[in-house]
Structure 1
Amino acid sequence: MTQTPEVALPCPAGEIRIGGRKSELAVAQSEIVKSLIESHCPATSCSIVAIKTLGDVRLDRALYTFGGKSLWTRELEALLLGNAGNFKQIDLIVHSLKDLPTNLPEEFELGCITEREDPRDALVMKRGSPFMSLGQLPAGSVIGTSSMRRSAQLMMHYPHLRFESVRGNLRSRIRKLDEGDTFACIILAAAGMHRIGLKPRITQYLNSDEMYYSVGQGSLGVEIRRGDPRISKILAHIEHIPSAYRCIAERSLMRHLEGGCSVPLGVNTHYDETTKILSFKAIIVSPDGQECAEASIEMPIKCREDCVKAGIQLGDKLVARGGKKILDAIDYQRINQPPQSSSENSSLFTTSSPTTS
């Protein structure tokens, strides 16, 4: 990000082609960015180009088993560089920031981060269920999630529950929950539920005592060609600085730990606009929920470089408390599905390393 709203230059006129995935949620997110640009830059008009990515097609396996976050970006990044197939070149890509790799190819950069939606995870119970929280579920109940971060943290708190992968768009996952006999509930990002009108289906929001959220969750990240002055000037008008500071710090932490979407890393951040203090907490949990490393910092933040430093500082604290040992011990090649129970998942570790939390 090369520009900030405080020094934003006048918006250049013209058309912008916005690229994104073809799912209902992705299109809704592209529409959010389109609306922001057109409201802040009236002389600019936007069109949306929606395409399917490999991550939309491969619904048979949990994401962390075959390639991680780049599944959502490869085809779209090709269009940023030029025409491809029947599609003309696009000017930017709208991502769920949690799906955007922390290290982008050298041709691209993160152009801006828009105002963050609720970053928490949400519990969605089967329609007609008498239960209102995870703590009420009977032993052996199956929770649907394809996220190792979610299943690891929940297994730490609820070792009597089971976890199985559930893929698809938000509505199809909810349909699998309601119409099938497998799941008692599923865990989804609250922000996505809000953006496509599914907020009424949320049974409970999971706060930090049960679940730290994913790096960047709830935020939209706009990817652009590196050094594109026209698009950078436009995006400077729609970036939300408090959200950007939080997410840059979170992404710095993940980068410092050399993590991707497979890493069972959860975060919780708050930026006080009056005091300029960032409160930053993070946790790393082993896939079986048996080991964890947790740390927190508070740090004054006045620029993006401070955010990067905050992520590195918190990462060092997590490493000192055994977090890197937990990550290094995970045998990703042997993971074909989320954890089922503590006893069934000891094989996810190559070694067992004690940690201090």
Structure 2
Amino acid sequence: MPIEDKNNNNSNQLKHIQIGGRKSKLAVVQSELVKQAIQTYYPEIDCSILALSTLGDKVQTQPLYTFGGKSLWTKELEILLIDQIDEFPKLDLIVHSLKDMPTHLPEEFELGCIFQREDPRDAIVMKKGSQFKKLSDLPSGSIVGTSSIRRSSQLIKNYPHLKFESVRGNIQTRLNKLDNPLNEYCCLILASAGLIRLGLGDRITSCLDDVYYAVGQGALGIEIKKNDQQIKQILKTIEDPIATICCLAERSLMRYLEGGCSVPLGVNSSFNPETSILNLKGVIVSPDGKISIEDEINKSIDISNDETLKRDCELVGIELGDLLKQKGAKEILDKIDMTRNINARPTEV
């Protein structure tokens, strides 16, 4: 993938970059990672971070799909990409967990960069002192805490002997609930990337290699004002080329299926830079785990320039989407009413 010269003259004119993100501990860590990366290449540019609480941070009791889904994480910050408001400064970019970033952004904004994909797999975190390592080891009827319809639908299919219950809160809150002796949870299912970034990788008991992960999971998405060429050139330097290819295809698949963070779409992707072959796998599982549809695509990606790369990734997602639709994926998605379905899960961590 072509990389812009990090010493581009346009970047040298910029003296300060205002980074925005959510106020959770994980979000702040992610913003700091982006700040450090920018300043590694552009030490002459000062970067500061605005950590802002959003409605999604404040509401911890009601499933997110009942009042706006993933747009809750973006709207308030996006306003500041347009202009300064009261005491809040104008932002140059917003750092998101890519899996929480809508595939359809308002026309004023764009995905400026995909940055640093950590391990995208889901992790099993057993209660402290547990003798068990894997879900298959747990006794029948054991309660597993999870937070997404994607996870729960696949887990119900793969581990029908277990019970899966929704659990909300940030990562530390969930871990505290798990370790409480009075709590019935035997383990939690969490994204490996979040645990690793918070320095909690030692809590990972094992990873779920048999569960397809969320679109964009483990990667960071940086949102910018549309056509901000100066910021875009700087972000080009820090992007993760392989993650960009994989995640663009994953997001194309989700967009084509009209899915969001609270639908049972799972993916698995890999890109071989030597052969330029992208492998994208997708699965749709009904919330009760009874119907499962999956397929995969292997395609060559033209990485000679950004436009051909984006085009090819988009087509891979669409082609896989068509294969899944032919097998009945759309029917599964159409039957899911995210405001009423009691099996639905809120946005995942």
Q: TM-score, normalised by structure 2?
A: 0.93
1:337–1:156 distance in 2 versus 1, CA, 3 Å: closer
Contact 1:82 1:90 in 2 (8 A): yes
2:305 is aligned to none
1:268 is aligned to 268
Q: Matches of 1:184 and 1:149 in 2, distance apart?
A: 20
Q: Which amino acid aligns with 1:239?
A: E
Please state whether the residue corresponding to 1:332 is helix, strand or coil: coil
Contact 1:63 1:146 in 2 (8 A): no
Could you report, residue by residue, the CA deviation over 1:140-195 in whole angstroms, capped at 9, with x for unpaired residues? 11111120000000000111211111111111110010014221111100000000
Q: Matches of 1:25 and 1:336 in 2, distance apart?
A: 29
The root-mean-square deviation of aligned C-alpha atoms, in Å, is 1.5
| Shift of residue 9, structure 1, vs aligned partner | 6.2
Moved more, 223-232 or 64-73: 64-73
Residues 1:211 and 2:227 aligned together: no
Residues 1:300 and 2:300 aligned together: yes
Moved more, 186-195 or 160-169: 160-169
Could you report, residue by residue, the CA deviation over 1:28-72 in whole angstroms, capped at 9, with x for unpaired residues? 000000011000112211000001011111110232333211011
Could you report, residue by residue, the CA deviation over 1:227-268 in whole angstroms, capped at 9, with x for unpaired residues? 112211111111121110000000000000011111100000
1:192–1:246 distance in 2 versus 1, CA, 3 Å: same
Residues 1:186 and 2:192 aligned together: no
Q: Which amino acid aligns with 1:288?
A: D
| Shift of residue 5, structure 1, vs aligned partner | 1.8
Which of 307, 318, 323 matches 1:317?
323
Q: Which amino acid aligns with 1:217?
A: Q
2:85 is aligned to 84
Q: Matches of 2:300 and 2:41 in 1, distance apart?
A: 30
1:49 is aligned to 50
Q: Which amino acid aligns with 1:308?
A: E
Contact 2:145 2:167 in 1 (8 A): yes
Q: Matches of 1:267 and 1:8 in 2, distance apart?
A: 33
Q: Which amino acid aligns with 2:59?
A: R
Contact 2:212 2:268 in 1 (8 A): yes
1:66–1:335 distance in 2 versus 1, CA, 3 Å: farther
Q: Which amino acid aligns with 1:42?
A: P
Q: Matches of 2:6 and 2:46 in 1, distance apart?
A: 19
Please state whether the residue corresponding to 1:130 is helix, strand or coil: coil
| Shift of residue 83, structure 1, vs aligned partner | 1.6
Which of 326, 336, 340 matches 1:330?
336
Q: Could you list the runs of 5+ residues in structure 1 that have no partner in the other structure?
A: 340-357
Q: Matches of 1:124 and 1:213 in 2, distance apart?
A: 16
Moved more, 95-104 or 223-232: 223-232
Please state whether the residue corresponding to 1:187 is helix, strand or coil: strand
Q: Matches of 1:8 and 1:311 in 2, distance apart?
A: 31
2:19 is aligned to 18
Q: Matches of 2:78 and 2:192 in 1, distance apart?
A: 27
Contact 1:110 1:222 in 2 (8 A): yes
2:255 is aligned to 255
Could you report, residue by residue, the CA deviation over 1:77-98 in whole angstroms, capped at 9, with x for unpaired residues? 1111112242111110000000
Q: Matches of 2:102 and 2:325 in 1, distance apart?
A: 21
Contact 1:148 1:264 in 2 (8 A): yes
4+ residue segments displaced more than 6 Å: none
1:202 is aligned to 204
Identical residues among aligned pairs (%):
55
Q: Matches of 1:170 and 1:66 in 2, distance apart?
A: 22
1:283 is aligned to 283
Q: Which amino acid aligns with 1:224?
A: I
1:85–1:165 distance in 2 versus 1, CA, 3 Å: farther
1:347 is aligned to none
Moved more, 154-163 or 250-259: 154-163
Q: Which amino acid aligns with 1:157?
A: N
Q: Which amino acid aligns with 1:86?
A: E
Q: Matches of 2:285 and 2:193 in 1, distance apart?
A: 23
Please state whether the residue corresponding to 1:268 is helix, strand or coil: strand
Contact 2:125 2:188 in 1 (8 A): yes
Q: Matches of 1:53 and 1:87 in 2, distance apart?
A: 14
Please state whether the residue corresponding to 2:202 is helix, strand or coil: helix
Contact 1:246 1:271 in 2 (8 A): yes
Please state whether the residue corresponding to 1:135 is helix, strand or coil: helix
Moved more, 120-129 or 179-188: 179-188
Q: Matches of 1:296 and 1:63 in 2, distance apart?
A: 30
Residue-pair matches, total:
335
Q: Which amino acid aligns with 1:317?
A: L
Moved more, 326-335 or 21-30: 326-335
Q: Matches of 1:242 and 1:9 in 2, distance apart?
A: 23
Contact 2:194 2:218 in 1 (8 A): yes
Q: Matches of 1:66 and 1:152 in 2, distance apart?
A: 22
